[in-house]
Amino acid sequence: MSSSRPLRADARRNREALLTAAREAFLSKEADAHVEDIARSAGVAVGTLYRHFETREALIEEVYRQEVDELCAAPAELLDRHAPDEALRRFLLLLVEHAAVGKGMAVALGSIMATDSPVFDDARRQMAQALDRLLDAGSVAGSIRGDVGGRTLLRALGAICGMHATDGWTDEAVRITAILFDGLRCGVRNPG
Amino acid sequence: MSSSRPLRADARRNREALLTAAREAFLSKEADAHVEDIARSAGVAVGTLYRHFETREALIEEVYRQEVDELCAAPAELLDRHAPDEALRRFLLLLVEHAAVGKGMAVALGSIMATDSPVFDDARRQMAQALDRLLDAGSVAGSIRGDVGGRTLLRALGAICGMHATDGWTDEAVRITAILFDGLRCGVRNPG
DNA sequence: GCATAAGCGGAGTCAGACTCATCTTATGGA
DNA sequence: TCCATAAGATGAGTCTGACTCCGCTTATGC
């Protein structure tokens, strides 16, 4: 699909429009968005949507992947500016806040989780690496325990972010993340 | 639905059969179970299923509520047998292991989360109370920090349990929960 | 310009949740 | 014990929303 020939200009434009419309729909919509609506608001027909994306899930996946790419650029920059543990703390909160934007996205991702998509695995690996970078730095500096890997931590975060309940979700997610962070530090007593 | 007259004998029997079939389906099935299948394996027609449960989600909700009821009986017993922090630790792990049984259930719950069901809110309140009981006991004993409420902790746990990914999920969930628990203790240094 | 293959539209198919008109049976009173 | 009757069961049919398919349109390379 992406290899042989470059996409025709109109096709590339439509593809972008679909991704934009989808991102908007998943981030803002009350419940889960319908393909027909996404296609319409991208100014194309459903057939076009399905030419670019195998299934509804594939479209969601692609939106998700783009988000992940953006996020995974952060650790390097954070480590430049802050001490490792502070960088880690900020990254955790960044993830939570980012995830907090859209409930629809979380619901959508829930349905993907059930399908064991390889794309999803890739994203996981990528995110785990980003976290490992921060954890390793913290471990070397002696401020973060060394027995927790990025994969494990990611699972925790993905979990927290995946749980979008009704009211003040963000506040709670931030608190939970702070607790998790306290659990990761060493040489510091938790508040009593 | 539950007030005026007691259910007719056959109706009660069918209702039970449906709940049993549904629980089995959600706990064992690869993906999400279809109403037709649940009805069939309960030995009734779909119409009967819908006589007892407004929607597919309502059925899932009821199964979930029963599970929650069972779980919420645990804290009292644990506090009888163990110190508060140990009781809390055990309860957290109990929740995780319990949730680990069924992937289908988690997926099913995901779809309910999007509907703001009051039943779901009740369950949340009930679980939060169960956790509060343990947290308060720990706080009084001085072994658990006092600034985290059951609601917050529940969100974290529900999140962790809601995240059923492909491979060795249970192990990771247990590890995450242990980290979370470390974050909740006071007067103890985390391993480095 | 033209040929042609890539891309698009949108009515149609299909699956699965849900309904309703009709038949069946538990139950309480004579 | 039997009957009246309302509660309950049934399953073919409806409806909705994801996905398909084929004829039409148009970008692109010569």
* Nucleic acid strand C within 7 Å of A141 CB: no
pLDDT of residue A2: 42
* B-chain residues near A149 (CB < 8 A): none
Rounded-to-integer distance, Cα A68 and Cα A8, Å? 27
The answer to whether A187 and A138 have CB atoms below 8 angstroms apart is no
Q: Which residues neighbour A188 within 8 Å (Cβ) at sequence distance 6 or greater?
A: A182
Q: What's the mean pLDDT in A14-31?
A: 85
In this prediction the pTM is: 0.71
Nucleotide nearest to A9 (CA to C1'): D27
CA neighbours closer than 13 Å in the CB half-sphere of residue B26: 23
Look at B179 and A176 and tell me if their CB atoms are within 8 Å.
no
Lowest mean pLDDT among A41-45, A49-53, A149-153: A149-153
Look at A179 and B180 and tell me if their CB atoms are within 8 Å.
yes
CA distance B68 to chain A (A): 17
pLDDT of residue B2: 43
Report residue A171 as tokens. Answer: 């506040």
Higher pLDDT, A176 or A111: A176
pLDDT of residue B157: 74
Structure confidence by residue, pLDDT tens digits, B54-90: 999 899 889 888 888 888 888 999 999 999 999 999 9
Q: Which helix (H) or strand (E) holds A70?
A: helix A56-72
DSSP B54-76: SSHHHHHHHHHHHHHHHHTTHHH
By three-state DSSP, how is residue A72 classified? helix
Q: Which residue is nearest to nucleotide C27 (CA to C1')?
A: B8
> Is it the case that residue A71 has pLDDT exceeding 50?
yes
Nucleotides of strand C within 7 Å of the protein's CB atoms: 6-12, 16-21, 25-27
Q: How confident is the model at residue B119 (pLDDT cuts 50, 70, 90)?
A: low
Look at B155 and A166 and tell me if their CB atoms are within 8 Å.
no
Lowest mean pLDDT among A88-92, B145-149, B161-165: B161-165
Residues with CB under 7 A from strand D: A 8-10, 32, 34-36, 46-47, 50, 55-57; B 5, 7-8, 10-11, 14, 43-48, 50-52
The answer to whether B92 and B177 have CB atoms below 8 angstroms apart is yes
Look at B113 and A184 and tell me if their CB atoms are within 8 Å.
no
Give distance CA A50 / C1' D18 (Å). 11
CA distance B66 to chain A (A): 20
Residue A9: count of CB within 10 angstroms of its CB: 8
Give distance CA A72 / C1' C29 (Å). 76
